[in-house]
A = this chain, B = another copy of it.
Amino acid sequence: MQKIADVKFSAAVLQWDQETYLPPKGAEFRGRQLATLSEIAHEWFIDPQLGQLLEELHSRHDLQDDQQRNVALSLEDYNKQKKFTPAFIRQLSEASSRCFHSWLQARSANSFALFSADLEHMVQLKKEEAQLAGYKEHPYNALLDQYEKGATVALLDRVFTEVRQPLKDLLGRIAGGQSVDDRFLRQDYPKQKQWDFGMELIRRMGFDFDAGRQDISEHPFTTNFNSLDVRITTRIDEHDFNHMTWSCIHETGHALYEQGLSADYYGLPLGEFASLGIHESQSRLWENNVGRSYNWWQAIYPRLQRVFPTQLSDVSLQQFYRAINKVQPSLIRTEADEVSYHFHVMIRYELEKRLIEGSLAVADIPAWWNEHYAAWLGVTVPDDKRGCLQDVHWSHGSFGYFPTYSLGSFYAAQFFAAAENQLPGLHEAIGAGNTAPLLAWLRENIHRWGRRYTSEELCQKATGKTLEIRYFLDYLLDKYVNIYKF
């Protein structure tokens, strides 16, 4: 298992380099180097000898508890993976290359039609994948399970139904509230100063720079090659303070999770993150529950004003706080605020569910998309580029991924509430800029468990309850009443 991890993490190094430092002409051969490494990892993982060894270990009664969990989860992974032949994996990977290229072309030509044939093929393959993997109740469940073990259409339908109307109401009340001016966030903010300030934030949050680093890339991301080498990236827009700041905080949230996993379980399930939803809960807890709170900025804002005196000395903390929380339904998911964001996800979720069950045709995506953006977010989609072509996920074959973003926000609110409840001095500590107690709570209750528990088990263990949407809704209401004075 650890040798397989060596190969996968090697591929991750090559990918990291691809996003950060690769010279343009190096891309072609990098592609084939990555393909070869993936092939090795997959071949090794579906080797029947490995399955046999895992079966043998699984039937033994003398293993320690941790060993047992590692074996059981590895065997589960093996049994899932072996359902896919190398030929099918190759088909998927080739389809994904083609699909990604036609997505790029379709985006630049601003025409969904250029994407639809390859996407159609991809959807076919994902349906096939769901059949091969097997599922109960709904074929989309097979895909969801890959990113969020145990997540189902039934669960997500319930959660999204619960959340939709309250969020819609909230958007309505915000629209009727006092207006928020955030133009001062889009002045000139020099690159180097932004970088330095971002590094300061990351350090403050507890990122271990001896076990990781930050670099620049086009799209910010977090990766790791083991829990002692966790890498994050950011991008800096000199005319917008937002990008760097919230990408730094968001990615550091992911990175703190990776740095909190156990190096002793390198390459083994107990050394891996629980699920994408839990991963996202960590990035969003830091980004939103901490990083967009009035409380935290009480401590940080004076420092920020000293770094950017000409830009911010006339802006009060209250003005700054309102600006970084401005709500404005818009077209692009990645630029959305905390409230309207979840409509972007719900639209994608409903759409994917229909595609996989076969009740929506690929050709009908743009119409369906635009109709729902109008109905749910009240925005008119002017073209495909700012509509159904905006995300890369489908071109990679990532169906079932989007819902984990919303789950992340929901778990984040519940975890944060539990931490506040369990740690009486937490609010004051954060207000003084000290997030160490929060990190310690996350390490203890979330990080260290790796994949030992499913998201729902982990949530139960950490908060005493399975996922409840009210924590998220209460958090939003509490915050936005204050900001929009409705």
Residues of A within 8 A of B (CB): 2-3, 6-7, 9-11, 13-14, 17, 21-26, 28-30, 32-33, 35-37, 40, 208-213, 215, 225-226, 228-229, 263, 266
Contacts and interface: CB of A to CB of B under 8 A. Distances in A.
A45 to B, nearest CB: 14
Given A23-B211, A209-B23, A228 B10 contact: no
Given A10-B10, A29-B225, A210 B23 contact: yes
Contacts of A28: 228
Copies of this chain, complex-wide, total: 2
Q: Is the interface of A mostly helix, strand, loop or mixed?
A: helix
Contact of A266 (B25, B29, B228): B29
Given A6-B36, A13-B33, A21-B213, 7 more contacts: A2-B32, A6-B35, A10-B11, A10-B36, A13-B17, A25-B211, A26-B225
Contacts of A32: 2, 6
Contacts of A6: 32-33, 35-37
Contacts of A208: 25
- What are the nearest 10 A-B pairs in CB distance? A26-B229, A6-B36, A29-B226, A25-B228, A25-B211, A6-B33, A25-B210, A24-B210, A10-B33, A3-B36
A226 B26 contact: yes
Nearest to A7: B36
A37 B7 contact: yes
Interface core residue of A6, A9, A30, A37 (most chain B CB under 10 Å): A6
9 contacts: A6-B35, A6-B37, A10-B10, A10-B33, A23-B212, A24-B210, A25-B208, A25-B228, A26-B212
A9 B215 CA distance: 23
Contacts of A17: 13, 17
Contact of A229 (B2, B10, B23, B226): B23
A2 to B, nearest CB: 8
Contact of A10 (B14, B24, B213): B14
Contacts of A211: 23, 25-26
Interface core residue of A30, A40, A212, A229 (most chain B CB under 10 Å): A229
Contacts of A22: 229
Nearest to A20: B21
A263 B32 CA distance: 13
Contacts of A212: 23, 26
Nearest to A263: B29
Contacts of A33: 6, 9-10, 13, 225
A225 B37 CA distance: 14
Nearest to A213: B23
A208 B25 CA distance: 10
Contacts of A30: 225, 229
A266 B13 CA distance: 21
A260 to B, nearest CB: 14
Interface core residue of A13, A26, A36, A210 (most chain B CB under 10 Å): A26
A47 to B, nearest CB: 14
A225 B36 CA distance: 14
A30 B9 CA distance: 9
A3 to B, nearest CB: 5
Contacts of A37: 6-7, 10
